[in-house]
């Protein structure tokens, strides 16, 4: 069971972030203000209601499975978790909520774009950390070969 929970959360979390990021860039470049507002609203609901539980599912089940595992990969995965959680909860979550509130009332001022820029930078940072956890997880599960350098 923890393995299945881990797999679902582990794949859903990076997919959500990649989807939020690409759709944000697309709609900011080519969409109208109402389209931006619509996307901001979707990112909060249902977006965050999928992303946050997915990270919690992957992290919680990972820590549980990690109790019985030793090694560099599991240690590195554990060390990445506080950064993933902090970036998600302290940066991405407040950014998404604020941007949604401002977009809903048509407030597309400098503050909006500064926060939007912060969100667009923080997203890929978490995506890289999550993708590395996926890669190391697949190596640990024997579904991906270790790189020749590390072998």
Q: Which residue, among 112, 120, 147, has the nearest Cα to 20 in the 3D structure?
A: 120
On the CB side of 124, CA atoms within 13 Å amount to 7
Of positions 110, 143, 147, 149, contacts ligand HEM by CB under 6 A: 143
On the CB side of 36, CA atoms within 13 Å amount to 21
Binders of ligand HEM in range 108-137 (CB under 6 A) = 130, 133-134, 137
Piece in contact with ligand HEM (CB under 6 A), picked from 34-42, 43-51, 74-82, 92-100: 74-82
Query: Using CA atoms, how far apart are residues 55 and 9, in angstroms rounded to an integer?
Result: 6
- Is there binding between residue 62 and ligand HEM (CB under 6 A)? yes
What is the contact mask toward ligand HEM in residues 5 to 44, using x (rule: CB under 6 A)? -xx--xx-x-------------------------------
Inter-residue contact 14 to 131 (CB < 8 Å):
yes
Inter-residue contact 66 to 78 (CB < 8 Å):
yes
- Is there binding between residue 69 and ligand HEM (CB under 6 A)? yes
Please, which residue, 16 or 74, has the CB nearer to ligand HEM? Answer: 74
Position with the least CB separation from ligand HEM: 137
């Amino acid at each position: 069971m923890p393995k299945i929970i881990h797999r679902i959360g582990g794949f859903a979390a990076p997919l959500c972030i990649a989807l939020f990021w690409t759709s944000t860039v697309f709609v900011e470049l080519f969409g109208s203000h109402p389209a931006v507002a619509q996307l901001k609203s979707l990112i909060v609901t249902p977006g965050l209601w999928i992303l946050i539980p997915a990270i919690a599912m992957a992290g919680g089940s990972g820590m549980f499975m990690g109790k019985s595992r030793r090694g560099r990969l599991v240690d590195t995965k554990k060390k990445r978790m506080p950064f993933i959680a902090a970036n998600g909860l302290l940066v991405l979550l407040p950014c998404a909520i604020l941007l949604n509130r401002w977009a809903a009332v048509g407030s597309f001022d400098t503050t909006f774009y500064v926060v939007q820029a912060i969100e667009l930078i923080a997203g890929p940072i978490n995506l890289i950390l999550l993708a590395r956890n996926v890669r190391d997880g697949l190596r640990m599960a024997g579904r991906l070969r270790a790189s020749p350098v590390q072998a």
